[in-house]
Amino acid sequence: MHLLLVLLVVAGGMGLSVEAGLLGPLGGEVGDLWATFSIFGVGAALTFLLMLFFSPRGGASYFSQPGWQLLGGMLGPAYVIILTIAAPVIGVAMTMIGILAGQVFKSLVIDHYGLFGTPHRKIDKKRLYALAFILVALALVAKG
């Protein structure tokens, strides 16, 4: 099961690269904010249909959850706007490696301190090496 989840998140990362590649040209044609809106509009419609047919009924109310948990909804558009603006200028590879560097850095901090209710996972040498390799990749792609 663990390997399947790892493969699933790798596939998700591939999807984000495709999304970045699609957003740049779309943003160039219709504007960055319209491109972002189109991604979230289509995504919201698809998610609604999936919820309608596959979501369990009778769970905890969405509106009874703490407000801070809804902040992710504010971060998504910022992320997509950044992809839309950056990918055509610095390339999809550079954009995604930069995104990955930021994600891994912040993820290490979140894991280390157990933020947002996540389990504690201490920062160790292997995790720091992983971040260092990503930063080296960022530097190598930037020089290319």
Query: In this structure, what token pair is assigned to residue 47?
Result: 């998610």
Return the closest-CA partner of residue 104 out of 84, 83, 121, 86: 121
- In whole angstroms, give the CA distance from residue 94 to residue 80: 15
Q: Is residue 82 part of a domain?
A: yes
Q: Is the pLDDT of residue 56 over 70?
A: yes
C-alpha to C-alpha distances, 85 to 32, 41, 78, 116, nearest whole angstrom: 7, 19, 11, 29
- Domain carrying residue 131: 13-53+73-143
Q: Is residue 36 part of a domain?
A: yes
Total tally of structural domains belonging to the chain: 1
Q: What is the model's pLDDT at position 61?
A: 79
Q: Is the pLDDT of residue 138 over 90?
A: yes
Q: Is residue 77 part of a domain?
A: yes
Q: Is residue 103 part of a domain?
A: yes
Q: Is the pLDDT of residue 118 over 70?
A: yes
Q: Is the pLDDT of residue 44 over 80?
A: yes
pLDDT confidence band for 85 (50 / 70 / 90): very high
Q: Is residue 59 part of a domain?
A: no
What is the mean pLDDT of the segment spanning 9-22? 91
Q: What is the model's pLDDT at position 22?
A: 92
Q: What is the model's pLDDT at position 72?
A: 81
pLDDT confidence band for 59 (50 / 70 / 90): confident
Q: Is the pLDDT of residue 144 over 70?
A: no
Averaged pLDDT of the chain: 91
Return the closest-CA partner of residue 99 out of 86, 112, 116, 118: 86
pTM assigned to the model: 0.82
56 or 10, greater pLDDT: 10
What is the mean pLDDT of the segment spanning 82-95? 93
